[in-house]
Structure 1
Amino acid sequence: MFRYVLGDSVQVMSTFPAASVDFILTDPPYLVGFTDRSGRSIANDMNGNWVLPASREMFRVLKPNSLMVSFYGWNRVDTFVSAWKQAGFRIVGHLVFAKQYASKSAFVGYQHENAYILAKGRPPLPADPLGDVQSWQYTGNRHHPTEKPVASLQPLIESFTQPGAIMLDPFGGSGSTCVAAAQAGRRYIGIELLPDYHAVGCRRLAALRSRHAA
């Protein structure tokens, strides 16, 4: 199963059978109204009305005894954690991705990204657990204003799934998680609401398939 779908994630996930994906890795809007220097923005980044419905759908479609890794906005952590717990997830770990640069400065320079590890049921432990502080490569945000590096995503997929597993990203952006899944030998389903970013993701995945076919 290799799909990159254009649409609203809650609506699209509602069409999936329950317990149909092995792992979720996602980077949802941080609820901060972000706009980059070129004026690019992110859909549904102004309010959190979607967080609980999306969390419930993610819990429903995830197989029992499986994991979700979700990035989040640190200053909206109460919204995300409340929704995850209401949906049924347990927090079982936390990841910090250390940057060599500051993406923004206010009271301090912002030099890391965060993600929670969330469990449905009792997933098995990885054979060789990753450290909870991981490195981060600057992407230049060429494809998306909050683009995550494939090199930081792929080890998570390889650690928390087996080859051939189905990974879901309901907030797919420009497709970085799906590229990482494909490179790791996993199947993927990505969902993105905005047509421009969805088109970029489709092009990236097509280019990856072409390289593998060559």
Structure 2
Amino acid sequence: MSPVRPRAENGHLVFDHEVPRSGVLQGDCLTAMPSLPGGCVDLVLTDPPYVCGYRDRSGRTVANDTCTDWLVPAYAEIYRVMKPGTLCITFYGWTATDSFMAAWRAAGFRLVGHLVFCKDYASRTGLFRSMHENAYVLAKGRAAMPAEALSDVRNWVYTGNKLHPTEKSVEVLKPLIRAYCPEGGLVFDPFAGSGSTLVAARDTGREYLGIELDPDHAATAARRLR
């Protein structure tokens, strides 16, 4: 599987064939998402830039991690492509909580949960030792109750960030997909990175669609999905 690379037409990305329900698209999600039909996604599980100017120990950075102009249009499109009554589970940067929250509310989301992932190591040390990740759970309308509700305090698995500077573990994502996406449903990640969400969806029997801006990361995701 190779990343699908659309062509530009009138300021939007256009695909020369039907957009795959299981694959990764290489491009900007702000121009790719308008090509997707509304109400087609059963679960959004995504890890966008934290808007914190992140740089890891080897100097790697994340695109669009120093600006907020993409937040409002991105979450508006995410809301549009979701089916009514479904969830968006989105990691976020706590230092930019106000900007994320404003974008979510502008899109029409309801805040229905907050997840904390506890680490057994500190990712940085300042006034406190940073030993957790956060994700908000957003609903489009009223979401159906799962067969078994998960705890909102969850364990973390360290990936070593070998494939991406902020790589998330497939094992951390699988339980969320199993609980909040129906079998055979479509999991969508518009900030796909190295493809962990897509791999987790595939491994749990769901269809998957990702968009990734960086061509190298999109290629990594495609290799993992092969």
Is the TM value for this pair above 0.5? yes
User: How far apart are the structure 2 equivalents of 1:7 and 1:42?
Assistant: 15
**Runs of 4+ in structure 1 displaced over 2 angstroms?**
none
Aligned position for 1:131: 151
Amino acid at match of 2:144: P
Question: 1:93 Cα deviation (Å)?
Answer: 0.4
1:40-51 equivalent positions in 2, closer than 5 A = 40-51=60-71
Match for residue 28 of structure 1? 48
After superposition, give the CA deviation of every residue in 1:69-98 in whole Å (9 maximum; x if it has no partner): 000001101100110011000000000000
1:101 lines up with 2:121 in the alignment: yes
Q: Could you tell me which residue of structure 2 aligns to residue 210 of structure 1?
A: none
d(CA) in 1 for partners of 2:217, 2:144: 34
Deviation at 1:41, TM superposition (A): 0.9
- State which of 152, 164, 176 in structure 1 corresponds to 2:196: 176
- What TM-score, normalized by structure 2, do the two folds share? 0.90
Looking at structure 2, the residues matched to 201 and 29 of structure 1 have their Cα atoms a distance apart, in angstroms, of 17
Tell me, yes or no, if structure 1 residue 12 matches structure 2 residue 32.
Answer: yes
What is the identity, as a one-letter code, of the residue corresponding to 1:15? Answer: S
More helix per residue: 1 or 2? 1
* Cα distance in structure 1, aligned partners of 2:27 and 2:177: 24
RMSD between aligned alpha carbons? 0.6
2:172 to 139, 152, 162: 152
Q: Identity percentage over the alignment?
A: 52
Q: Deviations over 1:153-211 (max 9, x none)?
A: 010000101110001000000000000000010000001000111111111111xxxxx
Answer yes or no: is 1:112 the counterpart of 2:132. yes
In the alignment, the residues of structure 1 paired with residue 49 and residue 113 of structure 2 have an alpha-carbon distance, to the nearest angstrom, of 21
2: CA distance, partners of 1:19 / 1:56: 13
What is residue 38 of structure 1 aligned with on the other side?
58
Question: Which runs of 5 or more residues in structure 1 are unaligned?
Answer: 207-214
Whether 1:74 aligns to 2:80 is: no
For 2:185, which of 137, 144, 165 is the aligned residue?
165
Decide whether the 8 Å contact of 2:164 with 2:217 is kept in 1: yes
